[in-house]
Amino acid sequence: MRRGYTHDDARVLASQRPHTCCAISNALLPALTPRPFPSRRTSPTGLSAATKIGQYVTVGAGSVLRSCRVDDHAVIGERCVLMEGSVVKSKSVLQPGTVLPPGKLVPSGQLWGGNPAAYVRDLTHDEVGGAVKG
């Protein structure tokens, strides 16, 4: 039984295992799961080549996720770019068009945006609840 959801226009450049309740719309995902020899698979920066996406994550159309980690209940806006080693913690939001540089960390419960990504503000209690309830 297939547990994940992938939009018809989504492009995946590597084999994937469906993730529970992950909405992906026309996003480019180079690698969702580690390869058989993860110690040998690294990105050009020397970081792990795996892209890890948590549960109840929303990835907007046209976004590119490359060797990064997105924790549970995060929202990635349309046309965002997440570079190698970047991490988006749970209950965080990236505005549309955000470019997250290599190794950048977005703490939990914050709104980030821009190119390069910068802190905008903390999310309100209602916004965090809305991101979790979907």
Residues 22-53: b if buried by 16+ CB within 10 A, e if exposed: bbbbbbbbbbbeeeeeeeeeebeeebbbbbbb
- Read off the pTM: 0.67
3-state secondary structure of 11: strand
- Domain-wise residue ranges, the chain: 11-133
CATH 2.160.10.10 is the classification of domain 11-133: yes
Write the pLDDT tens digit of every residue in 55-69: 999 999 999 999 999
* Separation between Cα atoms, residue 68 and residue 85, nearest integer Å: 5
* Separation between Cα atoms, residue 94 and residue 29, nearest integer Å: 17
Q: Which range has the worst mean pLDDT, 3-17, 53-67, 79-93?
A: 3-17
pLDDT at 50: 85
